Amino acid sequence: MKRCYYEILSVEKTASEDELKKSYRRLAMKFHPDRNPDDKEAEERFKEAKEAWEVLSDPGKRRLYDQHGHAAFEQGMGGRGGGGPGFGGDMGDIFGDIFGEIFGGGRRQGPRRGADLRYILELDLEEAVSGIEKRIEVPSLVACETCDGSGSEDGKTETCPTCRGHGRVRMQQGIFSVQQACPHCGGSGRRISKPCGDCEGEGRVEHTRTLAVKIPAGVDVGDRIRLAGEGEAGPAGAQAGDLYVEINVRPHPIFQRDGDDLYCEVPIRFSQAALGDTITVPTLGGEVEIKVPMETQTGKLFRLRGKGVRSVRSREPGDLHCRVVIETPVNLTKRQRELLEEFEGTFEGDQARRHSPRSSGFLDGVKAFWERMTS
């Protein structure tokens, strides 16, 4: 028993023509034989959707179907003399109306444009921040100098005998008929009578070009610079594609970038953190001094306004964030160990809690945790 046409297209009986068309396009794209080679189930689903569309998209047939169901067409009531609701016609008509922009339609197309290329350019952070001009080598297909990119030895072409100048041919697959670009002329409708000996009629040859690329100040990872017409040359003199230079910034030994801001870690001794000190920190423009107050804890951030990066999209530079990290001293002398032991001995009883608030808070939290677990 045939399924309901409305059910096949997943629409209500009150669906408008636009809703029918949208649903049919979605199903046809999903189950088209070109996208599902050797898939019988997909072929049947495509055939089913097309049949439903041919009936419901025609006001007269839809009215008959709503009144009599499938019987309207089984007895020839649909005006096809018993030939079925939609398979006596040319499928190309449907494709030209609905799928022209998807499957190529029936329009003649010129030679296809050359392919776009991508080049990943590695930069140091300093180069990305300040801007630089780089020379890059790009292997690609370029226009043949011998024939000026035409592919023809004498510059002459003739009408393609396969498509007769239309640029497209119709391919029959069982009951299905689809159009595609002519395989012999590439959709141009013209054929080269005497191919160029150097490029063999292609109009382009392999070549490595050296290009100068100006990198603007402030670029970051993932930014792209478009060089129009510097991609692959198109076949037979067609327009060249574009070259996209994609930026990748190498890891820096000191700074990490986050947008317009920079981050760095600055190691200090625990005596500097406890007593306070003035330390020197690096920036992209040179060294600057910051004051570390007494009793500074590890991980504290010091913000230096305007010492970050001005990106290509921002007017003002970001900030530099310096995170101090207290470093445990190593290779202690005997005297240094004695002094530390003497210093450690001053932390007794409540004195230890008063001098180590973070440690005390942690221990109190652990004690409360165990009390909850054992209660």
Please indicate, yes or no, whether residues 191 and 279 belong to a single structural domain of this protein: no
**Looking at per-residue confidence, does 152 or 358 come out higher?**
152
pLDDT of 370 strictly over 70: yes
In a domain, 338, yes or no: no
In a domain, 326, yes or no: yes
pLDDT tens, position by position, 18-51: 888 888 888 887 887 767 777 888 888 888 888 8
In a domain, 153, yes or no: yes
In a domain, 194, yes or no: yes
Q: Residue 84, exposed/middle/buried by CB under 10 A (0-12, 13-18, 19+)?
A: middle
Please indicate, yes or no, whether residues 81 and 190 belong to a single structural domain of this protein: no
CATH number at residue 26: 1.10.287.110
**Looking at per-residue confidence, does 6 or 95 come out higher?**
6
pLDDT of 86 strictly over 50: no
- Which H or E element spans position 352? helix 350-355
Percent of the chain with pLDDT over 90: 38
Listed residues 190, 225, 249: the one ending a domain: 249
Please indicate, yes or no, whether residues 219 and 262 belong to a single structural domain of this protein: no
**Given this model, what pLDDT does residue 71 score?**
74
CATH number at residue 289: 2.60.260.20
**Given this model, what pLDDT does residue 350 score?**
64
pLDDT tens, position by position, 96-117: 444 443 444 444 445 568 889 9
**Given this model, what pLDDT does residue 317 score?**
94
Please indicate, yes or no, whether residues 161 and 204 belong to a single structural domain of this protein: yes
Please indicate, yes or no, whether residues 285 and 303 belong to a single structural domain of this protein: yes
How many structural domains are present in the chain?
3
**Given this model, what pLDDT does residue 94 score?**
40
Alpha-carbon gap, residue 182 to 81, rounded angstroms: 36
Alpha helices, DSSP H only, in 228-286?
A: 270-275
pLDDT of 90 strictly over 50: no
pLDDT of 212 strictly over 60: yes
**Given this model, what pLDDT does residue 361 score?**
63
pLDDT tens, position by position, 274-302: 999 999 999 998 999 999 999 999 999 99
Q: Residue 44, exposed/middle/buried by CB under 10 A (0-12, 13-18, 19+)?
A: exposed
Alpha-carbon gap, residue 333 to 352, rounded angstroms: 25
Listed residues 230, 249, 268: the one ending a domain: 249
**Residue 219 domain boundaries:** 117-249
